[in-house]
Structure 1
Amino acid sequence: MGRRSPSTRLQAALAALAVAAATGVILTIPEASAAVAAGATGYASQNGGTTGGAGGQTVRATTGTQIHAALCGRASSSTPITIQVEGTINHANTAKVSGTSCNTAAGVIELKQISNVTLVGVGAGAVFDQVGIHIRESSNIIIQNVTVKNVKKSGSPTSNGGDAIGMESDVRNVWVDHSTLEASGGESEGFDGLFDMKDNTQYVTLSYSVLRNSGRGGLVGSSETELSNGFITYHHNLYENIDSRAPLLRGGTAHMYDNHYRQLNESGINSRAGAHAKVENNYFEDSKDVLGTFYTDAAGYWQVAGNVFDNVTWSPKGTDYNPAGPNPTSNATVSVPYAYTLDSASCVPDVVARTAGAGKGLLVSDGSCTPQSPSPTPTATASPTPTATASPTPTPTATATTAPPSGTNLSIGAGSDGSSKADGTSYGNVRDGNLSTYWSPAGTTGSVSVKWGSPTTISSVRVREAAGAGTVTGWRLLNGDTGAVLATGGAAGTVTFPATALSKVTFEITGATGTPRVAEFETYA
């Protein structure tokens, strides 16, 4: 984004001041970002990274209405902004505010159809009391150093469907850090999940946070067929007194490391419907069935290493209940595309107790089991225990050609899924060898995937469009196992890339002239 002219900046500042005058927002007009701990880690560091409101104005807010006003006072819905929050946000002070750069509602903090926003607690702290944070159709969001508690979906008052933080509908790149999410019971008491993701939410990290006293920790995917979510990292978090869903994974890839799980009452990490979980150097304590596939016969997968199981009990296996224990072993290999460091599992309870949650000074660990202030630019160092890590590599930009690849189309006979589909279309149409059938997203953008039951090596794909209302003008090709970007480009066609072994490859449409129609998504060795 280029810098605005002085006159444009002045007009934007005056507009912001007008909103501030009406709502009491405290504005800092110069374009300078507030201090935010280090940088995004895990999957939130991928897909271009997560920087939130860096480079934009800093705004102070003490009510929910002021938060909405700050969003609505921006020049556009993507103008970077950091909102420093202090005090208690509740239903009485959270009203809808209108504007061209926002889409808000009363009784819930709405980060909807926006991008480039940081929400950070400052001063004596920020508490969202019975008011949830709803992220929808948005990207590049940071939430840091806040407490969200007692959000209800039934009873009074209600907010955000009962989720403390909920993400849905084409959400990308969210980093929630050093926050406390808590309830006071389960569904029968009116609460739902603490940290939920559904309907094509990807590239999310939850770090150094506390989730406690809830029937449901969080889910990824709303049903066994809603498999468009994934690439989630959970590290250095405390899950305490949670009945289940710590988290529940329906499809997708997740990485859990250096978390402390204490008093998981019914089940913990529930990997199902083809999900892949990398579970390493966590400390599980005083809990039951902390890892497995539960309440379904749709299998999930996991890779385990370096975990400690302290007073963990395991139930017998059944047709729809498959605990990983009592001696958990890996049933898959799960790789991630980013570098990271591991604390030894034995010190995780101490490290997490000293770092996780709001009001802990944003302390982090560098793998030495010693909490410390974050560095402005974190770098990965050697792990204390062996682990395979990978550094991000530049994303290749490809020019698609019309020449068909040679060899056998490996998509025939494979499986498929996607982010959304228009009425009358099917994911399976992209692998049936029939150019008269097709898949379309439920809009101008979306993704469709081809997947196999075991890793398959491919080095080229061919995307063939059917005539229709729109034409693809921008796309990304993703390794569906790791989230790594294999290639990006404009027009669809044949794309080659270094040979890659994967179980799933995704064609994500990022731009189109209308609703595109993909007749075939061919894959070749």
Structure 2
Amino acid sequence: MNRSAAWRVPALVAALAVATTTGVVLPMSPASAAAGAATGYASQNGGTTGGAGGSTVRATTGTQIHEALCGRAESDTPITIEVEGTINHGNTSKVSGDSCETAANVIELKRISNVTIIGVGSGAVFDQLGIHIRESSNIIIRNVTVQNVKKSGSPTSNGGDAIGMESGVRNVWVDHTTLRASGGESEGYDGLFDMKNNTQYVTLSYSILRDSGRGGLVGSSESDRSNGFITYHHNVYQNIDSRAPLLRGGIAHMYNNHYVSLHESGINSRAGARAKVDNNYFQNSHNVLGTFYTDQAGYWQVSGNTFDNVTWSGPDSETNPAGPDPKSTTTVGIPYSYQLDQTNCVPNIVSRTAGDRTGMKESDGAC
């Protein structure tokens, strides 16, 4: 399927209850199970607490978000910014201060730490305006929509990424978000969730990524292998061409995600990357796991996944699909506790819990 047109194919969302083998279930500690606590790799390296313990402010414009960051005593003074309404180019301007480095065409989190941005009330929508995290740490983003961010055409923001991280970023938790585009690269869009240039200890949870040519990447090129320790759990990838995600080096853990209507490729592990892929439900998709578009191999450990109406290409010099009978090619040790839902329940669980404005519900294990 042509990449520039594939996004127009309607997403197929009917899920079949197919029995599957449940992977190893690890006990979850009370701290990680608590509502509002970072999970996965974001819980490591000292943890991710965002603006906990600091002041809380309300913002209804992008300028007010920047003012809240710039109004702190220091660039690491904890703050929680509650956002309601539509944030766009028309209400987002640059604000200057000793504790911030902002810009007019993006929500800029640069050289700062200890920040939570959370949607409240009727919801928060970042419309055509991306969130850029650079040289920052201990950042939480929850309960927001980021949509239609473009790198070409008009208006442009954040290189076309809904949420992008780069240059020494540490400990980011993105949770209960909806990240979406309205097409692929030829329509002006890039990735929904990108990490590059030494970004580590990140978790994406209970989120929806949809209607985009590119879901997201870890590593900007085959030589950018300084990124890793990324967890993706209880997310929906829907109507995506490729990069769900693309991994270049590093370690990633995917569990209890629902992948539906991936048109060209899904989890693309390459350039030495190692992916642990547990109890995910892949549906109505093509080449959902493997090494694609390169001769630099990546690796995977698989357990408990369901492949429902999944098709596979034959191998060649730049295509090494994991299927049609996926087997592990590496082992990956996971340092944190986590609870695996039964794979046949995953589509139903994430349909009730993923995305913003769902009350930030989490799985209780019930199907």
TM above 0.5: yes
Residue aligned with 1:212, SS: strand
Which residue pairs with 1:92 in the alignment?
90
Query: 1:351 is matched with which residue?
Result: 349
2:214 aligned with 1:204, yes or no?
A: no
Post-superposition offset of 1:37: 4.1
Residue 167 (structure 2) pairs with residue 161 (structure 1): no
**Could you say which residue in structure 1 is the equivalent of 2:279?**
281
Q: Distance in 2 between matches of 1:118 and 1:265?
A: 34
| Cα separation, 2, equivalents of 1:307 and 1:37 | 27
TM-score for the superposition, normalised by structure 2:
0.90
> Is 1:369 equivalent to 2:343 in the alignment?
no
Whichever residue aligns with residue 239 of structure 2, its letter is N
* CA shift digits 1:159-216 (9 cap, x unpaired): 0000000000000000000000000000000000000000000000000000000000
Query: Alignment partner of 2:66: what SS?
Result: helix
User: What letter corresponds to residue 239 of structure 1 in structure 2?
Assistant: Y
Moved over 3 A (4+): none
Structure-2 change in CA distance of 1:289 and 1:192 (3 Å): same
Gapped regions of structure 2 (runs ≥ 5)? 1-33
Looking at structure 2, the residues matched to 122 and 246 of structure 1 have their Cα atoms a distance apart, in angstroms, of 28
Q: Which amino acid aligns with 1:143?
A: I
The Cα offsets for residues 8-29 of structure 1, whole Å up to 9 and x where unpaired, read as: xxxxxxxxxxxxxxxxxxxxxx
Shift of 1:38: 2.3
Listed one character per residue, the Cα deviations across residues 496-518 of structure 1 (whole Å, up to 9, x for unaligned) are: xxxxxxxxxxxxxxxxxxxxxxx
Distance in 2 of aligned mates of 1:70 and 1:51: 18
Instruction: Write the distance in 2 (CA, Å) between the matches of 1:365 and 1:87.
Output: 27
AA aligned opposite 2:245: P
Percent identity for Structure 1 against Structure 2:
78
Trace 1:362-511 onto structure 2 (pairs within 5 A): 362-366=360-364, 368-369=365-366
Q: CA RMSD in A?
A: 0.8
Q: Read off the aligned partner of 2:261 and give its amino acid letter.
A: Q
What is the TM-score normalised by the length of structure 1? 0.63
Q: For residue 366 of structure 2, what is the amino acid of its counterpart?
A: C
Match of 2:351, SS? helix
Select the structure with the greater relative contact order (CA < 8 A; seq sep ≥ 6).
2
CA distance in 1 between counterparts of 2:150 and 2:244 reads 19
Shift of 1:369: 2.7
2:191 paired residue among 193, 200, 208? 193
In structure 1, distance between residues paired with 2:213 and 2:128: 16
SS at 1:67's partner residue? helix
C-alpha deviations, 1:441-473, integer Å up to 9, x for none?
A: xxxxxxxxxxxxxxxxxxxxxxxxxxxxxxxxx
Distance 2:108 2:277 in 1: 32
1:145 and 2:149 matched: no
Instruction: After TM superposition, list the pairs within 5 Å mapping 1:124-135 onto structure 2.
Output: 124-135=122-133
Does the Cα contact within 8 Å between 1:348 and 1:369 map onto a contact in 2?
Answer: no
Q: Report the AA paired with residue 38 of structure 2.
A: A
Which residue of the partner structure matches residue 242 of structure 2?
244
Corresponding residue of 1:265: 263
What is the distance in 1 between the residues matched to 2:298 and 2:335? 21
Work out the CA distance in 1 between the residues paired with 2:35 and 2:343. Answer: 24
Structure 2 counterpart of 1:523: none
Structure showing greater Rg: 1
Mapped contact 1:151–1:183 kept (Cα < 8 A): yes
Determine whether 1:51 maps to 2:49. yes
CA positional deviation for 1:260: 0.1
For the residues of structure 2 that align with 1:361 and 1:202, how far apart are their CA atoms?
28
Partner of 2:38: 40
Match of 2:80 among 71, 79, 82: 82
Distance 2:207 2:115 in 1: 19
1:329 counterpart residue number = 327
- The aligned amino acid for 1:304 is V
